[in-house]
Amino acid sequence: MSNNYHSLIPDFKRRVKELAREIPTDTDELVGLPYPYIVPGNDKVEALYYWDTYFINLGLIKMRMIEQARHNVENLIFLLRHYGYVPASNQKSMLHHSHLPLLPWMVRDVYRATGDKEWLRRIINEVVKEFHFWTTKPHTSPAGLFRYFAGEKTEWSPEKATEAESGWIDSPRFDDARNYNPIDLNAILYRNAMIIHDLQIEAEGKGDQKLLDKSYQIKKTMELCWDEEEGFYLDNDFTTKRLSRVKSLAGFMPLFVEMIDEKRAERMQKQLKNFTCPGGLAITDHDYGGKPSIWNYPIVCAPYIYFVVKGLCDFDYMEDAADIGTSWLNMVSEIYRETDNLWEWYNVKEKSIAEPSSIKNAALMGWTAGTYIALVDVLGLD
């Protein structure tokens, strides 16, 4: 098979354009949004999804569809102003929980692509408000870190709504996500504080020192999640004061946000072999059993491939990044040519979209196309 990775991108661009939707007024199922937005795929509800949009925007910006990327961010800001946080989706059944807070990253990416200071000045205060949402009750934990917590105003149980907020539905990572200091959330909040501070400097000429203080506090307290013997980050159960037994790709998030030094990065790099499969990396190092879930070995969804590969690149582990990235890209390319679709998740052990334990897969351009395009760029591939 030819490894001309760029050859598929024009087709992805055409198909992503077909996923643009305009729904300016509320429907029975959706909250209306002021700008056109990209839905993840035709098999999904015609909705905007929060953390999917980060990866969609990575692809849009690389394909020079910058105005659409801006519109996606504007819609998230609209929801933030209305609800006081960014809900997981404008789908009415998903309004009562959020998702991994990647809004500052999206704002930064659009600002870098446009240089539009007026736009940044207009929305920067909303980005700060979202950070406060995630770093105040009920998202605070007794350990001094932050947690997923949702479900006070929903028909779902608080436990189920919080699991949905984490994104890791039916994952072996959590028995009750409300009781954990999760690695990925706290790592992202560490970097969010720094990104927002830098954006404030761009917009207003100065940044709030309290943000940098918060970032430092998160980094220091996240030692609770470090397993010195394993050389890896694990979720911390603050009710038992113990680390989780589950190793997942979320453990590499401190690498992605550049929270660690090179010595610790070297120790974490040694963990890659535990996750490596023919199609890249599995989401966990082995099958932990429990409920059927896409968040268990041998499956992976695109976002965590991007987080790990980008983190490896930032610490100059280019050989590992290229091996993992091209293994995943080759698998995705082959299956795309066979099925004429990208997919929500992949079985990286079998390099397939096979459905272990009766888990249904779905055709999905969104985060998979965005990750594909971003990895081709990050790895400097032809």
Burial class (CB in 10 A: 0-12, 13-18, 19+), 110: buried
pLDDT higher at 354 or 270 = 270
Of 162, 164, 197, 198, nearest to 177 by C-alpha is 162
pTM assigned to the model: 0.97
Of 188, 181, 274, 190, nearest to 231 by C-alpha is 274
Both tokens assigned to 343 = 């997919």
Coil, strand or helix at 194: helix
Give tens-digit pLDDT for 206-228.
999 999 999 999 999 999 999 99
pLDDT of residue 1: 39
Q: What is the dihedral sign for C-alpha 261, 265, 267, 268?
A: positive
- What spatial distance separates the first Cα and last Cα of the chain, rounded to whole Å? 14
Q: What is the dihedral sign for C-alpha 189, 193, 194, 199?
A: positive
Write down the domain spans for the chain: 35-129, 135-246
Coil, strand or helix at 226: strand
Give tens-digit pLDDT for 57-82.
999 999 999 999 999 999 999 999 99
